[in-house]
Amino acid sequence: MSEIDLATAKKIANLSRLKMDDAELDTRAASLTGIIKWVEQLQEVDTDNIEPLANVVNTELVLRKDEVTDGGYADKVLKNAPEETQDFFVVPKVVE
């Protein structure tokens, strides 16, 4: 699928919770198409015997010990919440 049409752009915008009018969606669809075509071009390179590269500095994933070192500050966590009560975030009802 090298062409992102308006319907696909609309679906992606909806899944990403982005509100866009048709004119903007048109522009985005065109630039997304450009990106995908560029990636398709990259895929022409033969990489059959090459390990995928996750980063360029050859470092390993760092793990931590299983210790409780964080938390205990509900006030900080809730500081940006538009609404809160009894240390809960309060949001519009989201039940089925």
Partner 1 sequence: MAQLVKGETGDWEIVIGMEVHAQVIANSKLFSGASTQFGAEPNSQVSIVDAAMPGMLPVPNEFVVEQAVKTGLGLNSKINKTSVFARKNYFYADLPQGYQISQFEHPIVGEGTIEIDLPDGSTKEIGITRLHLEQDAGKSVHDQHPTKSFVDLNRSGCALMEIVSEPDIRDPEEAVAYLSKIRMILRYLETCDGNMDEGSMRADVNISVRRPGEGLGTRAEIKNVNSLKAVQQAIDFEVSRQIDIIEDGGEVVQETRLWDPAKNETRSMRSKEEAHDYRYFPDPDLLPLHVPQEQIDRIRDALPELPDQKKHRFMADFGLSLYDASVLIAERERANYFETAANGNDAKLTANWVINELLGALNKDEHKAISDSPVSAESIGELTALISDNTISGKIAKDVFAEMYKSGKAPGVIVEEKGLKQVTDTGAIEAIIDEVIAENQGQVEAYRGGKDKLFGFFVGQVMKKSQGKANPGAVNKLLKDKL
**To 10 degrees, what angle do helices 6-15 and 22-42 make?**
100
Residue carrying structure tokens 């470092």: 59
Which amino acid is residue 73, in one-letter code?
Y
Does 56 bind partner 1 (CB under 8 A)? Our answer is no
Tokens of 27: 């522009």
Tokens of 2: 């090298």
Number of residues that bind partner 1 (CB under 8 A): 38
Interacting span for partner 1 (CB under 8 A) from 10-18, 19-27, 28-36, 37-45: 10-18
Interacting span for partner 1 (CB under 8 A) from 20-28, 29-37, 40-48, 78-86: 78-86
Per CB under 8 A, the list member of 23, 42, 70, 82 interacting with partner 1 is 70
Does 48 bind partner 1 (CB under 8 A)? Our answer is no
Per the DSSP assignment, residues forming a β-bridge with 85 are 88
Spatial contact of 74 and 87, defined as CB atoms under 8 Å apart: yes
Contacts with partner 1 by CB under 8 A lie at: 11, 14-17, 54-55, 59-72, 74, 76-78, 83, 85-96
